[in-house]
């Protein structure tokens, strides 16, 4: 077999990671980043690693970790290694900080937060760069007992650049980069330092992450080089925006993937929606997970931010509901029915109910709403709709239909539909004069599955009972 020289080929030793910080739930932006990582790993037979970035002890919570894991699992984004916690590696970071200090690539800085803030504000006011002024960079004497942070001694001349898999070559003048803090006063390491140590020690080959990290990348590259680690490849995926083109946030509506689950979305719909946000494969819109894996290519990820569009997500969800397995949907629908205090016990077969609703619901929530009448007989009727028919007419329709229905059994949907046609032709009625009143009698309203579907699903006996009740109602 010939070995291809093309970049991106033969990457079976590819190692990628998703590294959320546990300061909230898994949001759709993070989910998409995770998805792209997962897809690339699956496609190239690499490893997908989950790492929890909890170096900020104050803001990190166990609840958030659980919420993120729950979201990942729901979406089916299984990981090969982890979850690893940065907080478990504090001693290791410390070791590497010391190494850098020993060789003079890092130094103690005694500047106080107040001093730094003051200098920064002054610089801003005077229109200068608000970067660290290097006050302690050349300090020779050590101040005993004074609190300090450790700063990385960054190169001040030249440029740092990298070839981003998505954005192309990006170059930064080193003079724009100041000496970043790698260890806080309390001895804990900071984010930019930890990612480098972790990505290096986990032998990550390709870092796929949000666009908002582009500016951190040159600093991290300098750290890799100072530490003597190989620099991984980078791929920065653009942000997801809200309808007003501002960064997606709660005020744009739901951003948590679990919230979408609770609103009745299917995981495959959300995944399909997310994969198309920023990535494309010609004119294709619908992707099964195996198609996604097969067709995914990081080079086809777009460079610009995209707006989250719930309408399209709804369309995809409707698509997957329409084509989904009724049994699975029935199970997924259960909690939504419970939330409506509907019990399916003793009622129609839920799977049959689902089948009548698959083309009529965009979400499981909507399906649940539409399913209620099957289990709870109407206690009132759409009076406005009923008013469109003459009372006497209604009576004769109900009577005629009841008589027909009374002596049939075992009919399927087509059979029941044919039976209604008979009623029409025998009495000189139009289907509209018969179907709609019966629909109201059976469901209480005007929007429901086809008459035949309802009668068969409900069962002839229950249908007759409901028609009788309606008959009594209009007699009042």
* Closer CB to RNA, 283 or 392, in the complex: 283
Nearer to RNA, 174 or 289 (CB): 174
Q: Measured from the CB atom, is 139 or 245 closer to RNA?
A: 245
Concatenated DSSP letters of 261-294 = HHTT--HHHHHHHHHHSSB--TT-----HHHHHH
Cβ–Cβ under 8 Å, residues 34 and 16 = no
Residue 301 CB, shortest distance to RNA, in Å, is 8
Long-range contacts of range 102-108, CB-CB < 8 Å, 24 or more positions apart? 104/153, 105/152, 105/153, 105/226, 106/150, 106/151, 106/152, 106/153, 106/182, 107/136, 107/137, 107/139, 107/150, 107/151, 107/153, 108/136, 108/139, 108/142, 108/148, 108/149, 108/150, 108/151
Q: Which is nearer to RNA, 44 or 195 (CB)?
A: 195
Which residues neighbour 50 within 8 Å (Cβ) at sequence distance 6 or greater?
Answer: 17, 18, 19, 72, 79, 81, 82, 83, 84
CB of 434 to RNA, least distance (A): 7
Q: Kindly tell me the burial class for residue 63, based on how many C-beta atoms sit within 10 Å of its own C-beta (0-12, 13-18, 19 or more).
A: exposed
Distance in angstroms (rounded) separating the CA atoms of residues 106 and 150 = 7
The residue among 192 and 363 lying less far from RNA, judged by its C-beta, is 192
Closest to RNA by CB, 247 vs 343, is 247
Q: Hey, which residues are catalytic here?
A: 250
Closest approach of RNA to the CB of residue 136, in Å: 11
- Exposed, middle or buried by CB within 10 Å (0-12, 13-18, 19+), for 280? middle
Pairing of strands 149-152, 15-18: unpaired
| Distance in Å, CB of 180 to RNA, minimum | 7
CB of 13 to RNA, least distance (A): 26
Q: 469: which 2 tokens?
A: 């009740």
Number of Cβ atoms within 10 Å of the Cβ of 140: 4
Residues 6+ apart with CB under 8 A from 233: 163, 165, 205, 206, 207
Nearest approach in angstroms of CB 346 to RNA is 25
């Amino acid at each position: 077999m010939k070995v291809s020289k093309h970049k991106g080929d033969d990457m079976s030793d590819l190692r990628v990671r998703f590294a959320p910080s546990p300061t909230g739930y898994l949001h759709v932006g993070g989910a998409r980043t995770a998805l792209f990582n997962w897809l690339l790993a699956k496609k190239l037979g690499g490893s997908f690693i989950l790492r929890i970035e909890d170096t900020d002890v104050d803001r990190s919570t166990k609840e958030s970790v659980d919420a993120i894991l729950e979201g990942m699992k729901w979406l089916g984004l299984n990981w090969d290694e982890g979850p690893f916690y940065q907080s478990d590696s504090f001693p290791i970071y410390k070791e590497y900080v010391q190494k850098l200090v020993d060789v003079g690539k890092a130094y103690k800085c005694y500047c106080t937060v107040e001093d730094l803030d003051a200098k920064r504000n002054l610089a801003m006011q005077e229109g200068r760069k608000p970067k660290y002024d290097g006050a302690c960079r050349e300090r020779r004497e050590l101040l005993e007992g004074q609190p300090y942070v450790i700063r990385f001694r960054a190169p001040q001349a030249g440029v740092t650049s990298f070839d981003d898999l998505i954005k192309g070559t990006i170059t930064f003048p080193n003079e724009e980069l100041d000496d970043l803090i790698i260890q806080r006063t309390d001895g804990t390491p900071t984010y930019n330092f930890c990612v480098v140590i972790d990505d290096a020690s986990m032998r990550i080959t390709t870092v796929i992450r949000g666009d908002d990290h582009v500016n951190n990348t040159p600093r991290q590259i300098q750290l890799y080089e100072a530490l003597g680690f190989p620099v991984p490849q980078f791929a920065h995926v653009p942000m997801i925006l809200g309808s007003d083109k501002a960064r997606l946030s709660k005020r744009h509506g739901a951003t948590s993937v679990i919230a979408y689950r609770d609103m009745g979305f299917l995981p495959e719909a959300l995944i399909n929606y997310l994969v198309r946000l920023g990535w494309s494969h010609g004119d294709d819109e619908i992707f099964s997970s195996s198609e996604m894996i097969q067709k995914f290519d990081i080079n086809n990820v777009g460079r610009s931010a995209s707006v989250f569009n719930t309408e399209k997500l709804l369309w995809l969800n409707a698509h997957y509901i329409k084509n989904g397995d009724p049994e699975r949907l029935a199970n997924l629908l259960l909690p939504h029915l419970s939330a409506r205090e509907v019990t399916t016990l003793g009622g129609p077969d839920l799977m049959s109910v689902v089948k009548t609703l698959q083309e009529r619901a965009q979400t499981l929530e909507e399906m649940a709403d539409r399913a209620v009448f099957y289990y709870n007989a109407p206690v009132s009727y759409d009076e406005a709709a009923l008013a469109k028919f003459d009372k006497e007419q209604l009576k004769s329709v109900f009577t005629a239909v009841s008589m027909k229905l009374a002596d049939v059994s075992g009919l399927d949907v087509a059979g029941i539909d044919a039976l209604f046609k008979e009623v029409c032709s025998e009495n000189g009625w139009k289907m509209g004069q018969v179907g709609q009143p019966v629909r109201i009698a059976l469901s209480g309203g005007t929007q429901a599955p086809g008459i035949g579907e309802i009668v068969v699903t409900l069962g002839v006996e229950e249908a007759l009972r409901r028609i009788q009740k309606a008959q009594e109602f209009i007699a009042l």
